[in-house]
A and B are shown apart, each in its own frame.
Chain A
């Protein structure tokens, strides 16, 4: 069975400082990894994904994520956080084969960026 862990319920960071949201995963075969963001009372918005290739993936709004196969991690990063980045962030994994259609989400990490 595939699974995702986001070890931090909340991350607090000052505006202008680097932001990191952690994610580790477990899946059979090669993973497809995703990050989504959810603003209050909204659906999820896609940020970025890793399929294959370069381990550093760049996405929307200045976010990037680094795939680390040996550590089975896919941490989300932003070099300089904005107050508007305050939201709920979800990491998700999808495996290949018979389970290829199912996306498994982590529990979410709330990010609070203080001015």
Chain B
């Protein structure tokens, strides 16, 4: 089974702090994704990566950056956390062939105070 893990289930940070969210997948998938989930808005794509050191902006990249130094690891960085970044963050991975589904991690609930 594909396993996607995220470094924290719950995280509380202060406004202005730099925040790192880590995601690791164990299936050698080329594609990795970061979403945020907010009630009524579904999942919105922040960034994705289709290869090591490659990244593309999703629909809501403002205030975020990403890093992919190794194939299995995709990090989401909040350069200066703000209260409107309080949300559930979900990481996903998918292989590059055909129309495969994405596999999701358990999520990190981030609260910025």
Contacts and interface: CB of A to CB of B under 8 A. Distances in A.
Interface of A: 4, 6, 9, 32, 34, 36, 41-46, 49, 51, 90, 92, 94, 101-108
Contacts, number: 54
A102 B40 contact: no
A70 B50 CA distance: 33
Interface of B: 4, 9, 31, 33, 35, 40-45, 48, 50, 56, 58, 90, 92, 98-99, 101-107
Given A101-B50, A107-B42, A43 B4 contact: yes
A24 to B, nearest CB: 14
Interface of B (DSSP majority class): strand
Nearest to A102: B45
B104 A43 contact: yes
A106 to B, nearest CB: 5
Nearest to A44: B104
Contacts of A43: 4, 90, 104-107
27 contacts: A4-B42, A6-B42, A9-B40, A32-B99, A41-B9, A41-B107, A42-B106, A43-B4, A43-B105, A43-B106, A44-B43, A45-B104, A46-B103, A49-B101, A90-B42, A90-B43, A92-B43, A101-B31, A101-B50, A101-B56, A102-B48, A102-B58, A103-B45, A105-B35, A105-B43, A105-B44, A108-B40
Nearest to B48: A101
Contacts of A42: 106-107
By Cβ-Cβ distance, the 9 closest A-B pairs, closest first, are A43-B104, A105-B42, A105-B43, A44-B104, A32-B99, A107-B42, A46-B101, A51-B99, A43-B106
B45 A106 contact: no
A34 B101 contact: yes
